[in-house]
Amino acid sequence: MVAVTLIILASVVSYAGVVDNAFVLFDDDEIIVRNPDLHRGLSLDSMARAFSLSTVTYWHPLTWLSLMLDHELFGLNPLAYHVENVVLHTLSALVLFAALTQLTRRIELSALVALLFAVHPLNVESVAWAVERKTVLSTLLGLLAVWAYVHYARGPTLVRYLTVFVLMALSLLAKPGLVVLPALLLLLDYWPLGRLAPPVNDGPPSTGRAPLPQASRTRVMLEKVPLLVLAVGVIAITLYSLHSERPDSAVGLALRIENAVVSVVAYLYTAFHPRDLAVFYPFPTAIEGWKVAGAAVAAGSITATAWWTRHRRPYLLVGWCWFLIALFPYLGLVQVRLWPAMADRFAYVPLIGIYIMLVWGFAELVPRRHRVQVVAALAAALVLVLLISATKHQVSHWRDSIRLFSRAVAVSPRSPEMHYNLGTALASEGRFRDAAAALERARDLNPQKSEVRSQLGNVYTMLGRHRQAIDQYQAAIRLDPGNTEALYNLATRLDALGRPAEAAVFYRRFIDVAPPEYQAQRAFVLQRLSRSSR
């Protein structure tokens, strides 16, 4: 009960700041604030829509249903969405504690792992970002599946196995990231369950485990087949749901592999040194060879150490493999849309493996003398306090869009995407001079982005710099002849400046490409063209 109370308190204190946070102009606006599918509320039609393959992003129907329910109950009050994310995150920490306790019979070590998960600042992105409901919901269901699997392993029955299967299915319906769960369960079969190639000696930290029913290696492997089939099915559906998304062919396979190798070590470094965290880390255009080689040597050394010590310290091998396997889907080997070099949210589940390595390794190194263990406990408490402080600070960066993107620009000053987002956020608050500076920086970093030019034209218009606005709209249209917003705004600017003949050209081009949601603008344009033709 003490451990449960500490986990809840630590999580609540860490994330208390979310009560002041707003929706941000980074997916929150598209998926929650301006999403008509979400705003229809819960109905048979909207539920069917949630399970369709034509949603805003990849297929995760359970998350859609969760967000629809929130909108039905709370409208667009960001407080409710953020508090629910914190609750789901806290429940995940509690389930992780319960599952590890059942696995190892080490309450104090399991509690410490759960506390690290609850308060680590690298998890802020998954909790404080409203649209990351998919991550916290999927993780909670996935950890429940792990907990159910522990009960199944201790007393195999069909009902217990079906419970694991259903919970994994629900996790994948919230987000397909845990398609690797069958492999993670195999790791637990190795240690601490000891069902698959049991270690000769799993060391002092995991003693006290109750013996399990005997099972052959073949049975242990076959148990995962239905789960694997489920995972493959969800992967297929997810890829199909993204069929309209164009893979990022500009990033070659060699660079993607190099970034994946470097990212493995970068996540480790960030876990131990969680500073300069941001919502977006731009994908590199090139990586120095020494970085790739150094990262490969570091990752290879950890792997070799974990393998060579597997009989004495199996938790090292299991924790390290958990980290690598859970991280694999997020390494960017296959990319769509705007893919980052890495992302804090991608480490949410993988770092559980690192926490296990650290906690069990720390426990083995501490001599079993009362005074030493008291000092060790105080040291662990100090680390947790520092992490809570860092997490509270990181939560404050998610207060609003301007703070979020200002932080991202400070961390990645050469990211045109973040300068563009900052400029858009500043413009939404009426800070047009500051917005112009941010958008000009985005344009200079990447002159080929049509949407940057169009937004810069909008800001110049608000500043009364009409000639510059027209230049930017024209540049946006040259880069993307189908840029609906730029066509409409250019036409209206020319019309307002007394150049109706030039405006009519772009009005007609707008009519040719305008999607259905531009119905009001289409009506206005048709009216203007009708008048000019008289």
pLDDT recorded at residue 200: 44
Helix (H, G, I), strand (E, B) or coil at 510: helix
pLDDT for 54 beyond 80: no
Average pLDDT for residues 420-426, to the nearest whole number? 97
Which residue in 303, 96, 318 sits closest to 202, CA to CA? 318
Q: What is the 3-state secondary structure (H, E, C) of 440-468?
A: HHHHHHCCCCHHHHHHHHHHHHHCCCHHH
User: How distant, in Å, are the alpha carbons of 24, 40, 516 from that of 254?
Assistant: 34, 44, 41
pLDDT recorded at residue 58: 77
How confident is residue 46, by pLDDT bands cut at 50, 70 and 90?
confident
Say if CB 146 and CB 184 are below 8 A apart: yes
Average pLDDT for residues 409-433, to the nearest whole number? 96
pLDDT recorded at residue 243: 62
Average pLDDT for residues 198-215, to the nearest whole number? 51
pLDDT for 13 beyond 60: yes
Residues 6+ apart with CB under 8 A from 433: 463
pLDDT digits over 112-143, tens only? Answer: 999 999 999 999 999 999 999 999 999 999 99
pLDDT for 204 beyond 80: no
Neighbours of 106 (CB within 10 A): 21
- 74 class by beta-carbon count within 10 Å (0-12 exposed, 13-18 middle, 19+ buried): middle
Domains and CATH numbers, the chain: 2-396 (no CATH), 401-532 (1.25.40.10)
pLDDT recorded at residue 447: 95
**Token reading at 472:** 């930017």
Say if CB 133 and CB 84 are below 8 A apart: yes
**Token reading at 108:** 């104090």
pLDDT recorded at residue 35: 87
Q: Which residue has the higher pLDDT, 465 or 522?
A: 465
pLDDT for 336 beyond 80: no
pLDDT for 335 beyond 80: no
pLDDT for 533 beyond 80: no
Average pLDDT for residues 65-87, to the nearest whole number? 95
Q: Among 284-293, 471-480, 503-512, where is mean pLDDT lowest? A: 503-512
Average pLDDT for residues 225-243, to the nearest whole number? 89
Q: What is the pTM (predicted TM-score) of this model?
A: 0.93
Hey, CA dihedral for 232, 235, 237, 239, is it positive or negative? negative
pLDDT for 443 beyond 90: yes
pLDDT for 433 beyond 60: yes
Mean pLDDT score of the chain = 91
Top mean pLDDT of 26-40, 262-276, 492-506 is at: 262-276
pLDDT recorded at residue 59: 84
DSSP 310: T
pLDDT recorded at residue 244: 54
pLDDT recorded at residue 140: 98
Average pLDDT for residues 460-488, to the nearest whole number? 95
Q: Which residue has the higher pLDDT, 200 or 180?
A: 180
pLDDT for 228 beyond 90: yes
The DSSP string of 346-415 is: GGTTTHHHHHHHHHHHHHHHS-S-HHHHHHHHHHHHHHHHHHHHHHHHHHHTTSSHHHHHHHHHHH-TT-
pLDDT digits over 294-331, tens only? Answer: 999 999 999 999 999 999 999 999 999 999 999 999 99
Average pLDDT for residues 190-213, to the nearest whole number? 62
pLDDT for 33 beyond 90: yes
Average pLDDT for residues 171-187, to the nearest whole number? 96
pLDDT digits over 480-506, tens only? Answer: 999 999 999 999 999 888 888 898 899
How confident is residue 49, by pLDDT bands cut at 50, 70 and 90?
confident
How confident is residue 50, by pLDDT bands cut at 50, 70 and 90?
confident
How confident is residue 202, by pLDDT bands cut at 50, 70 and 90?
very low
Average pLDDT for residues 42-68, to the nearest whole number? 82
pLDDT recorded at residue 138: 98
pLDDT recorded at residue 361: 95
pLDDT for 201 beyond 70: no
Phi, psi of 342 (to 5 degrees): -165, 170
| Preceding peptide of 192 cis, ω within 30° | yes
pLDDT for 386 beyond 60: yes
